[in-house]
Amino acid sequence: MGSADGLLNVIDVEATCWEGEPQRGSVSEIIEIGLTVVDLGNRERVGRHRLLVRPVRSVVSPFCTRLTGLTQAEVDEGVRFAEACRVLAAEHQAGVRPWASWGDYDRHQFTRQCQGTRTAYPFGRQHVNAKAVFAHAHGLRKRPGMDQALKIAGLPLEGRHHCGEDDAWNIAGLILGLTARGAWPEVRDA
């Protein structure tokens, strides 16, 4: 079923990106953290959150703005990455509550950025790759993107694709569908 409190954090991040190579000295940094809290026992989404994060080693490129809708001015108003990690731990129990993302990109991006900034990793050990679970449950050889998975599941895309807050909400919908099918794995608090 899930963690002791029955809740699961669904995370989707957006990061600085470029159409080609990044500017010299730039690294991809998280600029938005979308988080939807899912109550697995009651099979419902119970929280929707968005954290904007101010990059320090890169800027939001025009390509990134076209993709995510985020501008440099918006993320300049965000919190520093270490503060975002503190908020995840303090307000969303990220260190003990199981969490999921669509694929492993989000988990790897957090790991890289935490190591690069000497920030404590905010999450516990219980991560589920929702993309892999979805592909297995639907007998798919190739793991679909989130937008394709929504079509397969017969669900609408709510909001803007590549908006972390909206994508986390949509991924949570896919997880609820997997839960209803009995295909979501049981995870425990870390």
Q: Is the pLDDT of residue 12 over 90?
A: yes
Q: What is the pTM of this model?
A: 0.95
pLDDT value of position 2: 46
Give me the domain span that covers residue 24: 7-180
Model confidence over 130-140: pLDDT tens digits?
999 999 999 99
Mean pLDDT (whole number) for 148-162: 98
Examine residue 189 and state whether it is found in any structural domain, yes or no. no
Examine residue 61 and state whether it is found in any structural domain, yes or no. yes
Q: Is the pLDDT of residue 34 over 60?
A: yes
pLDDT value of position 3: 54
Q: What CATH number should be reported for the domain holding residue 28?
A: 3.30.420.10
Cα dihedral 31→33→34→37 (10° resolution):
-170
Examine residue 2 and state whether it is found in any structural domain, yes or no. no
Give me the phi and psi of 129, to 5 degrees please.
-85, 100
Based on the number of CB atoms within 10 Å of its own CB, is 82 exposed (0-12), middle (13-18) or buried (19 or more)? middle
**Residues 175, 100: contact at Cβ < 8 Å?**
yes
